[in-house]
Structure 1
């Protein structure tokens, strides 16, 4: 627990404080409340935070997830470990102000994570929304593709897969766009999985999700090649030939996600000729 929150909480138990505060915030500051998890925004002494309080999901929810071949999210531990690892790797992400966990019973485990609010940022989904109609300057487009590819590569090489890897979970600080590498924060890591190596099917899922979320931004063939060059160790030489079937799987997954979400095929782009 960081000193600024320690002064706020005083002698109260951290988890008891989190449960109380998560229940007391106004409705407009509740961002999510489901499956034993409550995500809220807090303002304390002029400083804004986000609190995720996990109160235990129960055995019913655990068995339901397992029956659907999904790993249940038991608490804040995965997010805490993923944030710390990504920060150590140089990936822009959230800053943890407090973390706590108690209980050995997975169905009743309590935990929380408090992170600083990202102020003055905009999601890449919103920032790139009008790119098809109003393309950005080439240098800006190139800079952001390189940044996202670099973050994805570092994360995956370290054995982390996000599971909700979409443009909306990259938050850009527009004030840093003059830099060669702007600040673009990867958020919402509560479903992240950490292993020695990411299995290929989870790599495909992450990258297909990212590709799907970018299909309305007017991507070109050069944009895709630019991403591959910065994401793939060894550059295009390794990406285009030896791993072409892997990238085809990513594209098929992205197209399927787009049709499922929108009910139609994506607008014209580099995938069009292979449909």
Structure 2
């Protein structure tokens, strides 16, 4: 048991060291283009080494997810934010490939419906939160409300806000409200993992061209992607301020280099594993009375087998 604990502690320390350069220290002023390299790969020179690391991470997640579900005390919310073609869907598919799908729920958020616009801006996200024992994934998240809505302020008009709520302080107020909401969730046993997949403009261009050139990928391309690309600089500023204002001790942001899909997936698995290791969920303890019931059930089942011989 002692050796197992030492190994677990060493593994946790290695993962913590690996993801530390990705973490945004609360209170840091982020300049995305200058502070983070989308091509960073932590000294891993070969893709096959990264694939092996991902396989190990997936196995680790599967183990901890079973414990999380059995303990039924904590929940985990994974928020993925990125520009188009950064690899959100692939990250979810690969990182969560080994877990029990019954314990994972993925929610994607499109243009809000009339019903959703009739409520406060966090309402539709609150409805999709994971239960205790679950891992919930937001493929895009409540941060759209300070990203897309900020880059396209006409969307703010559609949210039926009173005039006073659309003043110049609206973004600072939303940052505060998001931080308070996440603090509330954290205080109640829901851990929040926030990943920004940081893609370079050139790599996005390359991936868009592949979607156009390869017939099997045509369905993934939309002319809207090109229109959004025209707002690249606006999004970079919005992302930088979002990361600066909403990386908190209870819900820090991690900026994941996304120019290499395999490395982005390794990083995502590592951050999620770090969170689960920190929770350290345990299988429920079986008391003496329950053990007696198990022993009695075992005797009955064995006797049943003998009777049918």
- Establish whether TM, by shorter chain, passes 0.5: no
Larger strand fraction of residues: 1
Q: What's the TM-score once normalised by structure 2's chain length? A: 0.22
Q: What's the TM-score once normalised by structure 1's chain length? A: 0.24
Larger helix fraction of residues: 2
Q: Rg: which structure is higher? A: 2
Pick 1 or 2: higher relative contact order, CA cutoff 8 A, min separation 6.
2
